[in-house]
Amino acid sequence: MCKFKTIVQETLIQYLQLDQDVLEELLEKPQNPEHGHLSLPCFAWAKTLKKAPNLIAQEFCEKLKKHNLSSYIDSVNALGPYLNFKQNQILLGQELLQTIINEGDLFAKKSLDAPPTVVLEFSSPNIAKPLSIGHLRTTNIGACLARVFKHQGWNVIRINHLGDWGTQFGKVMLAFRLWGNAEDLEKHPIDTLYKLYVKFHEEEKKDPSLADQAREWFAKLEQNDETAKELWQWFKDISLKELNTIYQELGVEFDHVWGESFYVDMLDELIVDLKQKNLLKDSQDAKIVDLKDYKLGVSVIQKKDESSLYMTRDLAAAQYRYQQFHFDEMLYVVGNPQKLHFQQLFKVLELLGCDFVDRCHHVAYGHVDFGHEKMSTRKGNIVLLKEVIAQAKDRALSIIEEKNATLNNKQAIANAVGLGAVLFADLNAKLARDVKFTWDEILNFEGETGPYLQYGLVRAKSVLEKYEGQWSDKIKIDSIETVEERSLLQSLNDYPQILGKTLKEKEPFYLSHYALELVKQFNRFYAKCRVLDAPEHQKYFRLCLVKSLTIVLESSLKLLGVPRVEKM
Ligand code: ARG
């Protein structure tokens, strides 16, 4: 925790005998930084003290002023119902910059007794379908959260719950037998499988019997029929190989690629358990768990031919993962449309007596609208992720050609800028919101974009590169004269809290927004304050401020997945 907060807490406990837990809860950052750096709202004591909160704030303030307070506290003031504390900026500056420069971005790591474990499930595409721009969100959000949890000292287990089981495989297998050829498949696995999938749906309109044949193929797969299994394994292997190239490009890794098929052998036991607990009911031609009492409809668990469903495999997956990892949290990064699915999943787990269900969360997100085209894998008018990324890179290259034609390594830089633009745009909105972006918005070097951040870091680093003096191991500040320096210092000081909030709320937007603010603060500072040619008593402090900024900014970009650029 921030040292100033600890000191203020200790002061309030010592001189006003306030309760530590209450303070922990109440102490906040004032909206207006002019009012101070920490504020204690005094409403909580109005009842017990039988006084108006304004009066309480004043009395608290007077009492404190009678004591010799820590030199970290510059002033205490009562403002309305708030007791406000100002921090000594010089001490803050010295200690904070020293810590950042010594410890790097680990200064922002919360200390934990034992590392808790989080299972993070994300990406999870259905194989045999190409990654659409819609998959960008789960992949990107999940990877970002994984990095934040890891940075904060958690033990992180990343799982890709591939959609590699279900009736759609019956369709693709049948389509391949009817219209496919192996050569195309080996050359362009996912595209070919996808075309077959689309063709199946077109042909099915003319010949409805295809649906039954597809079901039979899937039934064969479930019964371990050799031909079906071989075909399926082949589709899966080549799809995965292709998926991996995209993951590599996005810088995303998994600890386990456990697709839905991984849990198929565990389903019998699950069904027995559901029966024993009297949860399974017959309904028309399926077995269900009735959740109407909870206003969650019914959850279908088994079809009449006893084949399993998406839900069945999710139930087994949750139980297996808990057995394996005894996680403290499990997060499913999956779009808003599956909200009901996860509500049902969690309810059935609860009814099964799985206590760990309290630790499971659906991290839901809105949809991406790109170029205003709706995406549907069935019809085939899909916006492909790899095409979006390729286009981002091309466009970044033309911007760079225009702005700085003599730059070396233009293509590599454009790649990092294009990718950074797409990945950042995707994280720079509250998760629940639907995102719409245009190329001009996300590639604007002066806008709230990935390239803006990359450029900010390049600028700050170039200042440091020009410094030829020594870096000493003691930072001594005489005075901090400008509001720009103070604001930048405060922003750096906020980093640990921002990471804590991002983790707690599972919301990368806090981090993306923070990174933008940080660069804006830096730009204001750099416009106002001289650094390399500053007077000697200011120069070293300002340099350390810039150095600390590069450490924090670089760390935020890394956690957000925005690639580093050396020159721009
Ligand atoms: N494969 C699914 C889809 O593309 C997403 C899987 C989400 N995860 C889960 N455990 N159900 O829609």
Compute, in degrees rounded to 10, the torsion defined by CA atoms 327, 159, 366, 190.
Answer: -170
* pLDDT for the residue numbered 370: 59
Q: Per-residue pLDDT for 166 more than 90?
A: no
CA torsion sign for 47, 53, 58, 60 is: positive
Taking the C-alpha atoms of residue 362 and residue 342, their distance in angstroms, rounded to an integer, is 7
Which atom of ligand 1 is least distant from the CA of 162? 1
Residue of 124, 260, 322, 336 best suited for mutating to test ligand 1, as the one with most atoms within 8 Å of CB: 124
Check: CB of residue 243 under 8 Å from CB of residue 123. no
Taking the C-alpha atoms of residue 227 and residue 34, their distance in angstroms, rounded to an integer, is 73
Q: Which residues pair with 373 in a beta bridge?
A: 370
When pLDDT is averaged across residues 114-138 and rounded to a whole number, the result is 90
Q: Which amino acid would we find at residue 130? A: P
When pLDDT is averaged across residues 527-536 and rounded to a whole number, the result is 93
Q: Per-residue pLDDT for 558 more than 50?
A: yes
DSSP for 358-423 reads GGEEEE----EEETTB---TTTT---BHHHHHHHHHHHHHHHHHHH-TT-TTHHHHHHHHHHHHHH
* pLDDT for the residue numbered 379: 47
Q: Per-residue pLDDT for 17 more than 50?
A: yes
Cα Rg, the chain, nearest whole Å: 28
When pLDDT is averaged across residues 177-193 and rounded to a whole number, the result is 90
Q: Per-residue pLDDT for 376 more than 50?
A: no
Percent of the chain with pLDDT over 90: 79
Taking the C-alpha atoms of residue 460 and residue 473, their distance in angstroms, rounded to an integer, is 21
* pLDDT for the residue numbered 177: 94
CA of 264 to the centre of ligand 1 (A): 16
CA of 159 to the centre of ligand 1 (A): 11
- The pLDDT confidence band at residue 140, using thresholds 50, 70 and 90, is very high
Taking the C-alpha atoms of residue 457 and residue 558, their distance in angstroms, rounded to an integer, is 12
* pLDDT for the residue numbered 98: 94
CA of 368 to the centre of ligand 1 (A): 17
* pLDDT for the residue numbered 377: 47
DSSP for 220-283 reads HHHTT-HHHHHHHHHHHHHHHHHHHHHHHHHT---SB---GGGGGGGHHHHHHHHHHTT-EEEE
CA nearest ligand 1 atom 1, residue: 163
When pLDDT is averaged across residues 156-178 and rounded to a whole number, the result is 94
Full-model pTM:
0.91
Arithmetic mean of pLDDT over the chain: 92
Taking the C-alpha atoms of residue 399 and residue 59, their distance in angstroms, rounded to an integer, is 61
When pLDDT is averaged across residues 318-329 and rounded to a whole number, the result is 98
Q: Which of 72, 89, 3, 69 is nearest to 477 (CA)?
A: 89
CA nearest ligand 1 atom 11, residue: 314
Q: Which of 467, 434, 446, 479 is nearest to 550 (CA)?
A: 467
Q: Which residues pair with 28 in a beta bridge?
A: 39
Check: CB of residue 169 under 8 Å from CB of residue 186. no
List ligand 1's pocket residues with C-beta within 6 A: 121, 124-126, 161, 163, 314, 332, 334
Taking only the tens place, the pLDDT of each residue in 404-441 is: 889 889 999 999 999 999 999 999 999 999 888 888 88
Q: Which of 146, 142, 145, 114 is nearest to 326 (CA)?
A: 114
CA of 125 to the centre of ligand 1 (A): 7
* pLDDT for the residue numbered 373: 45
Kind plus residue range of the DSSP H or E element containing 333: strand 329-333
- The pLDDT confidence band at residue 378, using thresholds 50, 70 and 90, is very low
Q: Per-residue pLDDT for 454 more than 60?
A: yes
* pLDDT for the residue numbered 381: 58
Q: Per-residue pLDDT for 457 more than 80?
A: yes
Q: Per-residue pLDDT for 375 more than 50?
A: no
* pLDDT for the residue numbered 32: 86
Q: Which of 307, 309, 383, 299 is nearest to 347 (CA)?
A: 299
Q: Per-residue pLDDT for 471 more than 60?
A: yes
Looking at 99-103, 246-250, 288-292, 372-376, which range is the least confident one? 372-376
CA of 429 to the centre of ligand 1 (A): 22
CA nearest ligand 1 atom 4, residue: 125
Taking only the tens place, the pLDDT of each residue in 256-313 is: 999 999 999 999 999 999 999 999 999 988 999 999 999 999 999 998 878 889 999 9
* pLDDT for the residue numbered 380: 53
Which residue shows structure tokens 């031909």? 227
Nearest-5° angle of CA 190, CA 194, CA 196? 125
* pLDDT for the residue numbered 382: 65
CA of 395 to the centre of ligand 1 (A): 32
CA of 168 to the centre of ligand 1 (A): 14
